[in-house]
Structure 1
Amino acid sequence: MTTSDDGLVVRGVTKQYPGTRALHDVDVHVGPGECVALLGENGAGKSTLAGIIAGITQPTEGTMLWHGEPFAPASPSDSIAAGVGLIHQEMRLLPDLSVAENVLVGRWPTRSGGWVSRGQMRARAQEKLEQLGFTQSMDVPVRTLSVAGQQQVEIAKALMLDAKLLILDEPTAALGAHETEALFERIHLLKADGVSFIYVSHRLAEIRQIADRIVVLRDGEKVAEHATADVPQDQLIKEMVGRSVDRLFPEVRPPADRVVLEVESLSSPTGRFRDISFEVRAGEVFGIAGIVGAGRTELVRAITGADPSHGTVRVDGAEVRRHSVQGAIKAGMVMIPEDRKGQGVIVPDTIQDNVVIANLDRIAPGGWLAPRKARQTAAHAVERFGVKGKPEHLVSSLSGGNQQKVVLAKWLERGPKVVILDEPTRGIDVGARASIYDVITELSRAGVAIVVVSSDLDEVLGLSHRVMVLSRGTDRGVLERDEAEAARVIELATT
């Protein structure tokens, strides 16, 4: 039987920044072998609270106990030494080191003479990663992995700590159903050994599967706490956003007959996908589903010219120049990448700079950029997409959901014919997610051809007119909306 001092106890924690109160008087208790879900919109204070527990941030007020003893980590190393680890949503890996080197970074096994035992390092890393469904080599550089693969490495790195409390910040945001299931199995085993978890996620359907209790934050305050994870999703959404979100997935209208995007016999020279063909009509949302490693991201990157390929891509009947992102953009095709910070936005720059750089050929055709025109373009994009910020604000100051809106805004200002979205709602809250779904619906009704890649099966099924299922780089079938059920998609994705 646990007492109030067992595990982690957070009492009255407040964090004040100049002009902003991130947390106010928050209490949380996590018992041994317990998983507490921490829910809230972006900006609700979840990451701040996680950072305080992990020693990244110092509280303005409040105290913490860890197994009955005062706990006030001054740095992440203090927290790790106490047995508390944090798995970040934004990967913090060393891109040029191998998978094995990243998993055991700082703890590389050595043999006599101080030399690193690479065989032992590979074996230990492989053991952890296989438990998470990771099948790639331990020797490849981390930068060559997909975002999902990097997320698995990040999780394995934390599991190597042998921590007694793990804070998981959106651990499944880039993972598909198969990889998520493997992670949950590992969490259940660790819970049975007394390991505690704080689980941060915007995927509400996961909460019942993994959590014992739920704590909801809004605007830096704890607004609800539930002694069970069996809470109606509508209730959780209302507690998180302060209002009811009646319709998460908008109504899907039939597309037009006119074909806008044609992909014919597209193959990767590295074998990541083979002989892929499909068409997308005006106003159609075409979903692409599959487990990690199926070739989804590689396929859409090739379609937009970011990666080499063999085959043909046409927009409105005109062939798009291969291996050319500029050619794709000129043809009217844009892509919202899955790695928004690494590929979608220039984080240290302003919203205005990010919008302008994607539209220079339109607003400065002669090479001269008029400041007034730049401000007007950025202001229009901010207003149209409801970005919570001004054009002069730095992208680094925005929440994940608003950064994603900036990525959308800068490309959609071009008025494209084809929009490809790779994991459009990865790691963003339910309120921002609903607004992005509304943007997709608006584009569909305007006759834009849309391709959506998502690891969230509910999302790809809820948005799409048709769904193509990839497995190991091959097309396993295209399902119409009325036959695209979750069980059927998973069956095809795992064959």
Structure 2
Amino acid sequence: MLEMAGIHKAFGQNKVLTGVDFNLKEASVHALMGENGAGKSTLMKILVGIHAKDKGEIKFQNKNVEYKDAQMSEDAGITFIHQELNIWPELTVLENLFIGKEMKNKFGILNEKKMKKEALKVFEKLNFNISLKKVAGKCSIGEQQMIEIAKALMTNAKIIIMDEPTAALTDKEITQLFKLIKTLQKQGVSFVYISHRMAEIFEISDEITVMRDGKTVLYKETKDTNYDEIVKSMVGRDLTEQFPKRTVTPGETVMEVKSLSNDVQGIKDISFSLKQGEILGFSGLMGAGRTEIMRSLFGIDKGHKDIEIKGKSVSIKTPEDAMKHGLGLITENRKDEGLILDFSIEHNMVLPSLKSFSNKGFIKEQSTHVFADQISKRLNIKTDRKALVSSLSGGNQQKVVLAKWIGTGAQILILDEPTRGIDVGAKREIYQLMNELTERGVSIIMISSELPEVIGMSDRVIVVQEGSIKGEVEHEYITEENIMTLATGGELHATNHS
């Protein structure tokens, strides 16, 4: 039904796809798998015309095609339901279904009666019962997902692409979704199902294609493969020498976190310890809840928790409390949450520790100048401290964020995606700084979506799955296979972890 052959795509110097092949049969559910960054979503965006391919061929129903935009592909019968649902929360279910495709009578007046009739016809096909007058924002995520599928069917979709469709669904909603997929399959609709969840893949799919580093590395019928083969295909690459050797032996426990829960964020009963001089990696798939755990721990988001630091029970209800007890947090989104972009490098660096640079309410500017110059030299930030932080590269901005927390004297640093979006040279400098900090007794919690980074830098790894700790892997057992097995809901054999 669909053939994509030799698809290439680069964004500038970054080669995202390098000759991908993907075939989809009629009335089939085809799972498209791979780690974050493997190129799955890019491939599908090329199919529906969101991105233009650089090279390669696409055939749909034996005809060469190249769609210029998503509307063109939708008109041809290919619909992409993105992970971030395209719902207008203030509009009703009916208005969402027909947005941009409103039915009108010969006088140009909205024909609501006809629209309701068409909508109910599709809902009946889906065995989906919801009021058309309901405001979409008041619908559950599962209901919103069904609305998106109904929209796809109203365009007579022949192929529906679903990107992580169950990431925010309840078990009941997932069961309903799978019934729906099977019903539509019987009616001749094909699905491309992008997901990391192994159990789902083996339950719902007929075929599996695995991508790695912008290439197709495996195609199998689902019945002819197994969990281990898929994991090996997803992660089978060598680590480079970019990670400096860890020289620190972690010491005594400096922090104990018990029963951390946040119902709003879906975080359940998180308990772990952190040792002096340790880099404790937090791994898991996107949406697993790693960032939410750290935000609750740091007091940004509310939630229940019991925390001991150096054997003493402490209360952390706000970021101010966290800082008072020696914690620092480098957030995932440095531009929105980690920096004030129209402030200078120096002002950003000293912001959290202004008290230590002031006397009787007046800031000692000479002290801030010395600190900013010294730490800029140490971190190899070559720009003048007076320059706006917005003028820096991503790597240098990240160094400024690190500098401001070093300035507070924080003894426990939480680094959320510390090297996201920065070049290899800057990454290595940050890794070396992390090593130096731990040599001075600082303890680090590192959240990272990059498995090589987790393996290259962590003394121990905690794997989070769907808001809970799925397992812990000690240093000598930290491998991509062990982490991915836990992250996708599997269990480790006794010989694979301590």
TM-score, length-normalised on structure 2? 0.57
Match of 1:370 in 2: 372
1:74 maps to a residue whose letter is K
Match of 1:326 in 2: 320
CA separation of 1:140/1:226 partners in 2, compared to 1, >3 Å: closer, same or farther? closer
Q: Is the 8 A contact 1:315 1:332 kept in 2?
A: no
CA separation of 1:225/1:461 partners in 2, compared to 1, >3 Å: closer, same or farther? same
Q: Is the 8 A contact 1:46 1:217 kept in 2?
A: yes
The residue correspondences of 1:397-408 to structure 2 (distance < 5 A) are 404-406=417-419
Match of 1:71 in 2: 65
Match of 1:231 in 2: 225
Match of 2:244 in 1: none
Match of 2:97 in 1: 104
2:321 maps to a residue whose letter is G
1:442 maps to a residue whose letter is D
Match of 2:56 in 1: 62
> C-alpha distance in 1, partners of 2:376/2:127?
50
Q: Is the 8 A contact 1:103 1:154 kept in 2?
A: no
2:492 matches 1:442: no
Question: Residue 197 of structure 1: CA displacement?
Answer: 1.5
> C-alpha distance in 2, partners of 1:111/1:331?
64
The residue correspondences of 1:168-187 to structure 2 (distance < 5 A) are 168-175=162-169, 177-187=171-181
The residue correspondences of 1:197-208 to structure 2 (distance < 5 A) are 197-208=191-202
Match of 2:256 in 1: 260
Q: 2:352 aligns with which of 361, 372, 385?
A: 361
List gaps (5 residues or longer) in structure 2: 240-250, 358-367, 382-392, 400-414, 422-426, 475-488, 491-498
Q: 2:135 aligns with which of 127, 136, 139?
A: 139
Match of 1:194 in 2: 188
Q: CA RMSD in A?
A: 6.0
Match of 2:411 in 1: none
Question: Residue 66 of structure 1: CA displacement?
Answer: 1.6
Secondary structure, aligned partner of 2:90: coil
Q: Is the 8 A contact 1:38 1:46 kept in 2?
A: yes
Q: Is the 8 A contact 1:223 1:239 kept in 2?
A: yes
Q: Cα deviations across residues 149-170 of structure 1 (Å, max 9, x unaligned)?
A: 6587357424421121122223
> C-alpha distance in 2, partners of 1:62/1:203?
30
Q: 2:110 aligns with which of 110, 114, 119?
A: 114
Q: 2:151 aligns with which of 139, 160, 163?
A: 160
CA separation of 1:299/1:26 partners in 2, compared to 1, >3 Å: closer, same or farther? closer
Question: Residue 86 of structure 1: CA displacement?
Answer: 1.4
Secondary structure, aligned partner of 1:306: coil
CA separation of 1:228/1:78 partners in 2, compared to 1, >3 Å: closer, same or farther? same
Q: Is the 8 A contact 1:14 1:60 kept in 2?
A: yes
> C-alpha distance in 2, partners of 1:215/1:152?
29
Q: Is the 8 A contact 1:234 1:244 kept in 2?
A: no
Alignment length, in residue pairs?
394
* Identical aligned residues as a percent: 24
The residue correspondences of 1:169-318 to structure 2 (distance < 5 A) are 169-175=163-169, 177-243=171-237, 260-261=256-257, 304-307=298-301, 317=312
Match of 2:466 in 1: 455
CA separation of 1:102/1:258 partners in 2, compared to 1, >3 Å: closer, same or farther? farther
Q: Is the 8 A contact 1:174 1:455 kept in 2?
A: no
1:361 maps to a residue whose letter is P
TM-score, length-normalised on structure 1? 0.57
> C-alpha distance in 2, partners of 1:79/1:41?
26
1:104 maps to a residue whose letter is L
Match of 2:360 in 1: none
Question: Residue 73 of structure 1: CA displacement?
Answer: 0.5
Q: 1:86 aligns with which of 75, 80, 83?
A: 80
> C-alpha distance in 2, partners of 1:418/1:377?
18
Q: Is the 8 A contact 1:93 1:154 kept in 2?
A: no
> C-alpha distance in 2, partners of 1:463/1:38?
28
> C-alpha distance in 1, partners of 2:340/2:65?
34
> C-alpha distance in 2, partners of 1:305/1:230?
48
> C-alpha distance in 2, partners of 1:111/1:434?
56
1:14 maps to a residue whose letter is H
1:454 maps to a residue whose letter is Q
2:19 maps to a residue whose letter is D
Question: Residue 65 of structure 1: CA displacement?
Answer: 1.9
Q: Is the 8 A contact 1:133 1:179 kept in 2?
A: no
Q: Is the 8 A contact 1:32 1:194 kept in 2?
A: yes
Rg bigger for which structure?
2
Q: Is the 8 A contact 2:256 2:309 kept in 1?
A: yes
CA separation of 1:236/1:133 partners in 2, compared to 1, >3 Å: closer, same or farther? farther
Q: Is the 8 A contact 1:259 1:279 kept in 2?
A: no
Q: 1:391 aligns with which of 373, 390, 395?
A: 395
